[in-house]
Structure 1
Amino acid sequence: MEVHNPVGFWNRLGARIIDGILMGVVTGIISAILFGEFANDDYNPLDGIGLLYSILLPLFWYGYTVGKRATGVRIVKKNGENVGIGNLLMRELVSIFVYAITLGIGLIVSAFMVGLRHDKRAIHDFIGGTYVTYDPPEQSEQTEF
């Protein structure tokens, strides 16, 4: 199926920045309450909250995160349907592994792919069988829950 209305680099980056700020503030506040420090250089058990956020929120909110909703974009399967847990796990977890193995080079390649490819799909989109679109969910999809 053809990718419809794909989102380019700057909107995707904007959504990631909004999500990063949100997760930084939320985990910082929780960390300050639990550990007495807003942030530190050591491992924090709350670091996984951002990963859960990027997997669970789009699963239950038609492919949106807060940042994606603010920029008017969402994640969908390659066929245009709502993403499932398998797509999101592959997109987030496996892609983290790929980007780490390539020492960040894969992330740079992904940025160029989003900027230069006609379908605007990055490595993590190919891994997860997804793409990011401007198209809102259909009305029938929104009434299912």
Structure 2
Amino acid sequence: MAYENETSTQVNEETKVFEEPSSEEHVLAGFWMRLWAYLIDLLVVTSLNGIVLTPALAFTDLSEWGWGIYTLGGLLTAVISFGYFTVMTKVYRQTIGKMIIGVKVLSEKKELTWRDVIIREVFGRYIHQSIFITNILYLIVAFHPLKKGLHDYFADTFVVLEPRKKHAVKTENI
């Protein structure tokens, strides 16, 4: 009897060693994995904004500067948020939430370029977050066979599970 999990491609019958996929094979990260990573990232971004902006806005009158409905505090919050997602994705191919959950962003091309990351993380997130109802567009990931959201299509990216460590189980225990 062969046992398999999401990341296994071969199973050794004697010791039940789950092999990692080869470097060319990737298991796509689904909606729930990506959602949990995003929720963790929201905690990180909220914390960063609190650490950086609360002292700056408390001791200055920057929060009162604005143009209509837009304030300098709101602009700085957006810069920190988009900056976090953009820089982390370009440098590590992951945000902290993705690192914890074990997923990463790959490009359909060889390399993840700054252009790809800016399109995905800035323009894609802006479209999703500009109006509350557009957040529902994230559900495309749940129902699409390639687990891609609109922002993935715009930037030619996809999100995959990181290879898991091998686990050996003795046959007599099963």
TM-score, normalised to structure 2, is: 0.64
Q: How does 1:74-113 map to 2 (within 5 A)?
A: 74-79=104-109, 81-99=110-128, 103-111=131-139, 113=140
Consecutive aligned runs of 4 or more in structure 1 exceeding 3 Å deviation = 96-101, 103-107
Query: Which residue, 77, 85, 96 being the options, matches 1:66?
Result: 96
**CA gap 1:106/1:31 in 2 versus in 1, 3 angstroms:** closer
SS at match of 1:133: strand
2:51 and 2:123 map into 1 onto residues whose CA distance is: 29
- The structural deviation recorded for 1:106 is 4.4
TM-score, normalised to structure 1, is: 0.75
- The structural deviation recorded for 1:105 is 4.7
Please tell me whether residue 121 in structure 1 is matched to residue 148 in structure 2: yes
Q: Which residue of 2 aligns with 1:49?
A: 80
Which has more radius of gyration?
2
**CA gap 1:122/1:5 in 2 versus in 1, 3 angstroms:** same
SS at match of 1:76: strand
CA deviation vs aligned residue, 1:61-105 (integer Å, no higher than 9, x gap): 1x11101000000111024x442111111112222454467x455
1:23 and 1:98 map into 2 onto residues whose CA distance is: 18
Q: Which residue of 2 aligns with 1:140?
A: none
1:74 and 1:118 map into 2 onto residues whose CA distance is: 18
1:72 and 1:131 map into 2 onto residues whose CA distance is: 14
Instruction: Kindly indicate whether the alpha-carbon contact (under 8 Å) linking 1:3 and 1:119 is maintained by their aligned counterparts in 2.
Output: no
Please tell me whether residue 8 in structure 1 is matched to residue 35 in structure 2: no
Please tell me whether residue 30 in structure 1 is matched to residue 52 in structure 2: yes
Instruction: Kindly indicate whether the alpha-carbon contact (under 8 Å) linking 2:41 and 2:96 is maintained by their aligned counterparts in 1.
Output: yes
Amino-acid identity (%): 24
1:14 and 1:99 map into 2 onto residues whose CA distance is: 17
User: Structure 1: which 5+ residue stretches go unaligned?
Assistant: 137-145
More helix by share: 1
1:58 and 1:98 map into 2 onto residues whose CA distance is: 18
**RMSD of Structure 2 on Structure 1 (CA):** 2.6
